[in-house]
């Protein structure tokens, strides 16, 4: 089936009455799927990251399922009207991107359709998790985000909803809301989509000039350096457990004049699992500190190593379990976020 622009619907009544053409061909060799409605929620200005979400949704629900992409610039998520006005609106292009990626419908309601009585007096509270990191930098943002996600879940009535892991704190809060409030929907996180140079795909990237973009690459470089440092440290610790490396062996090699072997033995002997969080933070911060001296400089908002369940900081003595290393910074007038999942205690 030739890709075409998705069908544009503006009201919940139109969406409820919509019956898509079911002649979409399933990709050759595609896995077993389920005929359901999937939703991908966006604020428009669709890029390859959104396309990846839509493609994943299509693969999950199959040719017989329905994929709905919402495009709604939610005023409750913006602290300043200038930021709301600056947010790009590209609906015609969004329809083409969504259709090419496999969406049936783009549901682009008006503010009056979503908030018919004006700004809602009753809203979803993000709770303590919503006050950390992004919530501390943007007070009220997550309350507004959860409120509109709850409304859009009611309006679109999906069986499964897809969100990018790039907005890891948002994803965690949506999962918590769905669990706490018994929403009958499955929430699926999709891996962060990146540009070829490593920069996480974002509608905000278009605001970066070439010099700012060069500086902005420090965010992903810092995350990758931290991941590599953790992997190296855990590999050394695994070697220490299997080879029984000791400081004494390192000293013996030094006396024999085997400087390189002695240095390796000493690194293995000193590898400690409890040093992981500190090493991860240090590796990332070194790159971010260098970027602060670039022109234009990177202005760090936060670098945080957190528990994915509640986004509290992970202590330096953590030896096992999952974590998220998250970073936010401004380059020029553009604020960017990124993160990477990590697992402490892994040996492979």
SS3 at position 93:
helix
How many beta carbons lie within 10 A of that of residue 91, not counting itself? 13
Residues whose CB is less than 8 angstroms from the CB of residue 40 and which lie 6 or more positions away in sequence, other chains included:
50, 53, 54, 57, 67, 68, 69, 70, 103, 161, 162
In 193-333, beta strands by DSSP E: 298-306, 321-331
CA distances from 29 to 26, 172, 181, 190 (A): 8, 32, 38, 21
Q: By the 8 A CB rule, do 314 and 306 touch?
A: yes
Exposure string of 55-74, with b = 16+ CB inside 10 Å and e = fewer, is: bbbbbbbbbebbbbbbbbbb
Tokens of 347: 């040996």
Q: By the 8 A CB rule, do 40 and 127 touch?
A: no
| Nearest 10 degrees: Cα torsion 54, 57, 59, 61 | -140
Residues whose CB is less than 8 angstroms from the CB of residue 145 and which lie 6 or more positions away in sequence, other chains included:
74, 76, 77, 126, 170, 173
Of 50, 141, 154, 214, the active-site residue reads: 50
Tokens of 120: 């809602």
How many beta carbons lie within 10 A of that of residue 314, not counting itself? 22
**Three-point CA angle 50, 52, 55, nearest 5°:** 110
Identify whether 296 is preceded by a cis peptide bond (ω within 30 of 0): yes
Closest to 73 (Cα-Cα) out of 61, 63, 87, 83: 87
Annotation marks residue 50 as catalytic: yes
The residues annotated as belonging to the active site are: 50
């Amino acid at each position: 089936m030739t890709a075409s622009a998705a069908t544009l619907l503006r009201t919940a009544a139109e969406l409820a009455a919509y019956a898509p053409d079911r002649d979409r061909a399933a990709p050759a060799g595609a896995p077993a799927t389920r005929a359901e409605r999937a939703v991908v929620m966006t604020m428009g200005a669709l890029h390859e990251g959104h396309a990846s979400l839509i493609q994943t949704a299509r693969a999950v629900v199959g040719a017989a399922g329905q994929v709905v992409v919402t495009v709604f610039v939610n005023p409750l998520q913006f602290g300043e009207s200038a930021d709301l006005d600056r947010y790009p609106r590209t609906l015609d292009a969004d329809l083409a991107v969504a259709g090419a990626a496999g969406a049936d419908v783009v549901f682009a309601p008006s503010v009056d359709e979503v908030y018919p009585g004006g700004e809602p007096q009753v809203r979803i509270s993000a709770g303590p998790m919503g006050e950390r990191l992004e919530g501390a930098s943007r007070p009220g943002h997550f309350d507004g985000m959860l409120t509109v996600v709850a409304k859009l879940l009611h309006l679109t009535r999906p069986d499964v909803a897809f969100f990018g892991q790039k907005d890891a704190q948002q994803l965690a809060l949506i999962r918590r809301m769905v669990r706490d409030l018994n929403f009958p929907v499955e929430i699926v996180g999709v891996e962060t989509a990146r540009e070829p140079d490593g920069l996480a795909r974002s509608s905000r990237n278009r605001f970066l000039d070439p010099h700012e973009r060069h500086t902005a690459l420090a965010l992903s470089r810092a995350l990758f350096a931290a991941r590599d440092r953790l992997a190296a440290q855990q590999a050394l610790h695994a070697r220490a457990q299997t080879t029984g490396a000791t400081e004494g062996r390192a000293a013996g090699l030094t006396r024999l004049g085997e400087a390189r072997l002695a240095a390796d033995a000493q690194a293995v002997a000193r590898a400690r699992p409890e040093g992981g969080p500190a090493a991860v933070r240090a590796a990332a911060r070194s790159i971010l500190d260098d970027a602060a001296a670039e022109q234009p400089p990177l202005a760090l908002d936060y670098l945080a190593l957190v528990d994915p369940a509640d986004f509290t900081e992970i202590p330096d003595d953590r030896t096992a379990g999952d974590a998220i290393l998250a970073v936010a910074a401004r380059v020029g007038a553009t604020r960017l976020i990124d993160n990477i999942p990590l697992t402490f205690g892994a040996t492979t």
